[in-house]
Structure 1
Amino acid sequence: MLTGSQKLGRLGANPVLHFVEVERSLGWNVDPFTRLHRFRDRRIDTTEIYHHCLTALGRVGKSPAWVERIAEDKLGFLSSLALASAHLDLLRGLDVESAATIAAKCEVLQMIRNSTMKEAAMPSDMTYIAITQLISAEIVFGNRDVSVTHMNGLLSIVNLRGGLSKIGWSDEMGAMSAGKIMIVAISYDIDCPDVFLNASFSLQPHLPNLCQHVPESPAYWKSEDLSTLRRAKHCSPEMRGILIEARALTGLFLETFCVVQNEEPRREAFSFQSSAAAVQARLLRRRANSGNPYYEIVRLAALVYATSLLHRIPLAEASVLIAPDVAETMSSYLVKTDIALCWHGDMAGVLLWATLIGSAVASPLRTLSAKRASPWLRVTNMYCMILLSTEHSDVFFENCRCMLFIQKELRKARASLQLPHRLRGSTD
C-alpha cells in the first residue's frame, strides 16, 4: 500500500507512461527504456526517472490527446521528466533539489532558449508547455524568483500569440497552465496576471455535471450548511461545523469588501469585525485532536484563515499569531491521511482550500521545517487541480479566485497601514 506522501505523486496524465505503453504495444521484446528521449548530462539517471513515472506518477483517467503530443516531442517529454525528477527528490525526503534535478532543469531551459531564438516572433505550443512543466518543478521546492520568472515568460508568449485561447490544442492545456499560475500566485501572495485570471472564467474544459454533488469548501459552496459534506466519511460533525464557520466568514468578507464600483458595500466594516471576532473566538475554543489528522488540518487552516481575515493581515503573518509551526504541523498531518481515497470526491474542495492556506503560510518562511512542509502542501494543490479538472474545473477555479481576491484585499489593507510588509524571516 502506498503511503500518504506517495499518493500525492499521482498527479494525472503522464506523457512518459503513454510513450512506454505505445512502445510496448509493438511487441513484448521491445525495451521502451532504450527508445525514449534521453538527457545528455550523465548525472541524470534517465532510466530511473522513467521508472518513477511508471510507478509513482500514475495518471487519473484517460490521457488527453495533447499528452500524446508531448510524449512524441523531445522538449515536451524531457520537461516532463524534469518535473518527475523533482518529485522523486521530494519522495526521497530531500530538503533541496538533487544535482540531477538541477541538471535536468538546466538542460530543458537551454532547449527552451534555443527554441525561442528560432521562434522569436511566434513561440511554439511545445515551448509554452515546457515552461509550464518547469513551473510545476519549481512548485515542488518553491523557488519564488524562478517561478515568477517562468510565469513572466508564459505571459510574454501569451501576449505574442494573441491570448491564452490561441495556445495549444485544447482548452484543457490553457486551463492547466492558468491553474498552475494561480497556485504560484496564492503560494507567494502575489498578483495573478489578469490574462490567466480572466481565462479561468472561460476555460472550462469539463463542464460541471449537474447530477453530481459538488465538492464544497469555505471558498466555494452551493449551500450555506455545506450539505454535500454530510456524505463524506471523514468529515465529522465537528469538522463540518468548523468548515461552516469558515464559509460564513468568507461570505461576510465578500459582502463587506467585494464592492462593485459606485455601489455601497452590503455590510459595514465594523459589522464584519464584530462577526469575524466571534467566529475566531469559537474556533479558538475548539479542542485539538491529534488522533484525527483530517480534523486537525481543517481546524488549523480555519484558525489561520479567521485570524487573517479578522486582523486583515496576510495568512503568513496570521499563522505566527497562532503558533510558529502551523504549516509544518499541517504537513505532518497531511502525510498521515489517505490522499487518494479519503480526500477524493466530496472532500476534494476542502483539501484544496486547506492546502492553499498552508502553502501561503509556509512559502514566506525561511525555517528549515517550513521548507520541508511547503513542498507537500503545494504538490497537494497540484493534485487537487488535476483531480478536480476531470469533473469540477469550476470548483478549482472558484476556490483559487476567491483566495486570490481575499489575499489582494489583505495586501491593500496592509499597505494602507503604512507598516513594513514583511515579518522577520520573510523572503519577500
Structure 2
Amino acid sequence: MEADQPPAPLPPVAAQPDPPAARSSSSPDAEQNPAKKPPRKRKRKPRPPPSQPGLRWLNSTDPSQFRDDRVRKAVRSHVMYDHAARKKSLTTVHQDQFTVVHLYKDSQNPKPPSSAHHHPNVPEKSLVPTQVPVDPGSTTVPGQHSWDKEDENHLALTLLDRLASHLDPLGQLPGFAAPKQNVRELQKFCVEYFATTIYRVAPIENSNIFLAGMCMASSRLDVLRGLPRESAITAAVKLEAVRLLNQSLSDPQVQLNDETIMILTRLLHSEVIHGNFAVLEVHKQGMERIVQLRGGFQRLFHDSPAARWLCNAIVHVVYQACIHTEQQPSQIFLDWVPPTYDLSVPPEEREPAKPMYLPDRVWTFIVKDYRCSKYTAELLHDLREATGLFLTHYSDKGAAATNHPSPGKTDPKSLHVRSYLMQQIGSKPSAEDPDSPVFGDWYYESVRILSHIYATSIYHMVPFSVAAILAKEALLPERPSISVPERLKLAIEKTHPEPDLCWGPLMTRVLLWITVVGGAAANPFASEVADHDVRAEINPGLETARRYLISLGLRSTIVLACQSPYSPAYVLELLRRVIVVQGLFTTEKSAPESTSWKAPYQRNT
C-alpha cells in the first residue's frame, strides 16, 4: 500500500468585506435609489372605547358637516366599539359566575380567572383572594380554606358594585301626566320628610299611591320656602292626585279598596296644609262615606294587616283637619277607639289604659330628656294638671261635646280652675329676658307661648283662634305688628337648625301638642274668610305661620305614630283631648270685651 499522503490544503478564502451599515432614510443616496422602500409611517393608536355606549353626540352649525369624512369615520368606529362591547358582555356573563364559584370551592391554588381580561378595571386581588398561610401547629386540613369573613364578602361586594355602578333605580319611577315637577326630587324629599316605613313601602307597590304621596312632599316644600300660598307646581301635582282619585272612584272594583283610601288620605293631608276649607269638607265627607261602605272602622280594622294602620291614618288626618278648622268631627270618627297595644306586645308587658294626656311612663321619660329643663317640666306639669281638672269637672256634670257650657254662667269651681291656670302661666318668665334663669331656652319659650294661648282659651272659654288675639296683649305688648302664632313659629325654629327632627323621640309628643293647638290658633275666623288667597293677601305672615305649624304637626303625627306599638293610641288620645276641649268652648266667635281686640283678617278701612 502506498503511504498515506497528507490532505491537500484548502484554497484560501478571500476575506469578505463587512456589510455596509444601514443608511438612514434621510440620506441623499436613499432618495436617489427608487428600488428601496420608503420608510414606514407610524400607526396611530386605536381610539379609546366610547364613554357612553350607544350614544354619540354630534354638534354642527351646518347640516353639510355631517357628511364629512371625519364625522363618518368617528360614527363607524363608535358603532363598532359599542357592538363589540355588547357582544363581549353577553358572552362572558356566565363564565364570570362559574369561574368565581370554582375559585372558592374546588381550587387549592387559585389563579386569575380566564375572564379577568374582560374587566381590566377590576384588580386581580378583588377576584382571587390571597392564599392564607397554614400554621404548622394548626389542625386545619391543608385542602381546606379558612377564609376570613371580610375576605369572603370582598368578592361579592366587588361584583355587586360592578353590577350596580351604572344602574339608576329612580329612572323607573312613574311620572306625572303634566311634567312640571321632578318626581325624583319629590320622592327624595318625601322619604326624608316622613322617615317612616309605612309611608315608604306602600307607594312602591302601587304607582297611584306613589304619585298621590308627592302632593304631601310638594306642600311641605312650599312651607319650607316660606310661601303663604301653594305654588303652581303643587297645584299641578294635586290636580294629578285628584285625577287619580277620580279614576279609582269610577272603577267599581277598586273604588272602596285600600288604594283609594290611601290616595284620599294623602290628598287630605296636603289640603290641611293648604287650608282650602271648602275642599276639606268635601274630602272629609267622602272619607266618611267610604268608611261607612266598608262596614265601619271595626270591620275595616280586621280586613287586612295594612288596614290596621290605615284606620289610624284616617282618624289622625281627619282629627287634625277638624282641629285646624275648629270644627267637630263626625260621630263615626269619634267612636273609633283603637287598641291601646299592638298584638305583638306580650301580655305581661302591657299596662292598663290611662285616660291622661301623658301617661306616667311617658311623662317620666320626657322629664329625663335633655331638651326638657326643670322649668319646662314645671310648665308642662301645670298644664297637665289644669287640663285634667278642667275636663274632669265638665265630665262629672255630664257635659258632652254637643252641650257647650255657657260662658255667661259662672261656675265657682270651674272659675277657680281656670283662674289658677291663668295665674300659673302668667307668672312664668320669658326666655328672651337676659336676667331670667331660662334665658335662651327656646324649648321652654315655645311651650310658654303656647301655654298662654291654651290658658287664655280656657279662662275666657273662647276658641284657640280668639285666644291667640287676647294673649297678644300679655305676650307682645311692645310688638303689635307680629302675631302670637308668628312668635311661636320663630321660637320653634330657634330650637334646632332642623326642626323637622321633631325634638327627638321623647319630646315629639310635646311638639305635636304645640303645633296642633298653634295651628288652630293661627286660623281666626276661618268660617268667615274661607278663601285662602284672601287670607294670604291680608296677613301673609300669619298665613305662613299657620301653614308651618300645621305641616310640622302632621309630620310629628306620622313620625310619632310609627315609633312604637304604643304610640298610635297615645297620638289619638292627644288629638281627641284637644277636640274635647274645643267642643266645650262656644261655637260663636263673638268678640270678647277688649278695646284692642280686632280680627286680623279684617281689612283696614
Q: What TM-score range do you get, normalising by the shorter chain? A: 0.7 to 0.9
- Does the CA-based 8 Å contact 1:293-1:334 persist in structure 2? yes
Map 1:52-201; keep pairs closer than 5 Å. Answer: 52-53=189-190, 56-57=192-193, 59-60=195-196, 63-64=197-198, 67-119=200-252, 122-164=255-297, 165-166=299-300, 169-201=306-338
CA–CA distance in 1 between the matches of 2:293 and 2:168?
A: 41
- Does the CA-based 8 Å contact 2:442-2:492 persist in structure 1? yes
- Does the CA-based 8 Å contact 2:464-2:517 persist in structure 1? yes
Query: How many percent identity over aligned positions?
Result: 24
Pick one of 557, 569, 572 that aligns with 1:385. 557
- Does the CA-based 8 Å contact 1:70-1:77 persist in structure 2? yes
Alpha-carbon deviations, 1:9-67, whole Å to 9, x = none? xxxxxxxxxxxxxxx9984433223211100103233233234335x33624xx24x85
- Does the CA-based 8 Å contact 1:218-1:250 persist in structure 2? no
Alpha-carbon deviations, 1:227-267, whole Å to 9, x = none? 4433021212222221111112101211211247599xxxx
CA–CA distance in 2 between the matches of 1:261 and 1:348?
A: 32
CA–CA distance in 2 between the matches of 1:331 and 1:404?
A: 22
Match for 1:348: what amino acid?
T
Shift of 1:377: 1.2
Which residue does 1:409 correspond to in 2? 584
Match for 1:321: what amino acid?
L
Match for 1:368: what amino acid?
P
CA–CA distance in 1 between the matches of 2:328 and 2:490?
A: 29
Shift of 1:141: 2.7
TM-score (norm 2): 0.58
Secondary structure of 2:586's match?
helix
Secondary structure of 1:335's match?
helix
Secondary structure of 1:258's match?
helix
Match for 1:347: what amino acid?
M
Classify 1:75/1:371 alpha carbon distance in 2 versus 1 (closer, same or farther; 3 Å): same
Pick one of 567, 575, 597 that aligns with 1:400. 575
CA–CA distance in 2 between the matches of 1:134 and 1:327?
A: 25
Pick one of 277, 289, 313 that aligns with 2:462. 313
Secondary structure of 1:411's match?
coil
Shift of 1:423: 7.2
Secondary structure of 2:181's match?
coil
- Does the CA-based 8 Å contact 1:75-1:127 persist in structure 2? no
Classify 1:32/1:121 alpha carbon distance in 2 versus 1 (closer, same or farther; 3 Å): closer
Classify 1:26/1:202 alpha carbon distance in 2 versus 1 (closer, same or farther; 3 Å): farther
Which residue does 2:75 correspond to in 1? none
CA–CA distance in 2 between the matches of 1:409 and 1:130?
A: 33
Map 1:169-318; keep pairs closer than 5 Å. Answer: 169-202=306-339, 205=342, 219-222=357-360, 226-259=363-396, 261=398, 269-290=411-432, 291-318=440-467
Shift of 1:116: 0.9
Secondary structure of 1:364's match?
coil
CA–CA distance in 2 between the matches of 1:172 and 1:262?
A: 31
CA–CA distance in 2 between the matches of 1:208 and 1:394?
A: 14
Match for 1:401: what amino acid?
R
CA–CA distance in 1 between the matches of 2:281 and 2:242?
A: 15
Classify 1:58/1:129 alpha carbon distance in 2 versus 1 (closer, same or farther; 3 Å): closer
Unpaired runs of at least 5, structure 1: 1-23
CA–CA distance in 1 between the matches of 2:336 and 2:345?
A: 17
CA–CA distance in 2 between the matches of 1:345 and 1:254?
A: 28
Map 1:303-342; keep pairs closer than 5 Å. Answer: 303-323=452-472, 325-338=483-496, 339=499
- Does the CA-based 8 Å contact 1:246-1:302 persist in structure 2? yes
Q: Which moved more, 1:336-345 or 1:154-163?
A: 336-345
Shift of 1:69: 3.7
- Does the CA-based 8 Å contact 2:462-2:585 persist in structure 1? yes
Which residue does 1:15 correspond to in 2? none
Which residue does 1:351 correspond to in 2? 511
Higher relative contact order (CA 8 A, sep 6+): 1
Which residue does 2:27 correspond to in 1? none
Classify 1:125/1:161 alpha carbon distance in 2 versus 1 (closer, same or farther; 3 Å): same
Match for 2:491: what amino acid?
Y
Classify 1:208/1:351 alpha carbon distance in 2 versus 1 (closer, same or farther; 3 Å): farther
Shift of 1:180: 1.0
Match for 1:287: what amino acid?
P
CA–CA distance in 2 between the matches of 1:58 and 1:118?
A: 30
The higher radius of gyration belongs to 2
TM-score (norm 1): 0.81
- Does the CA-based 8 Å contact 1:226-1:244 persist in structure 2? no
Alpha-carbon deviations, 1:317-350, whole Å to 9, x = none? 1111111611111111112223466722332221
Classify 1:229/1:402 alpha carbon distance in 2 versus 1 (closer, same or farther; 3 Å): same
Secondary structure of 2:327's match?
coil
Shift of 1:387: 2.6
- Does the CA-based 8 Å contact 1:175-1:205 persist in structure 2? no
Match for 1:81: what amino acid?
M
Classify 1:122/1:94 alpha carbon distance in 2 versus 1 (closer, same or farther; 3 Å): closer
- Does the CA-based 8 Å contact 1:242-1:299 persist in structure 2? yes
Q: Aligned pair count?
A: 391
- Does the CA-based 8 Å contact 1:208-1:393 persist in structure 2? no
CA–CA distance in 2 between the matches of 1:261 and 1:178?
A: 25
Match for 1:108: what amino acid?
A
Q: Which moved more, 1:300-309 or 1:41-50?
A: 41-50
Which residue does 2:153 correspond to in 1? none
Which residue does 1:13 correspond to in 2? none
Unpaired runs of at least 5, structure 2: 1-160, 401-409, 433-439, 473-481, 526-534
Pick one of 138, 156, 179 that aligns with 1:42. 179
- Does the CA-based 8 Å contact 1:213-1:228 persist in structure 2? no
Classify 1:119/1:173 alpha carbon distance in 2 versus 1 (closer, same or farther; 3 Å): same
Match for 2:316: what amino acid?
G
CA–CA distance in 2 between the matches of 1:203 and 1:162?
A: 22
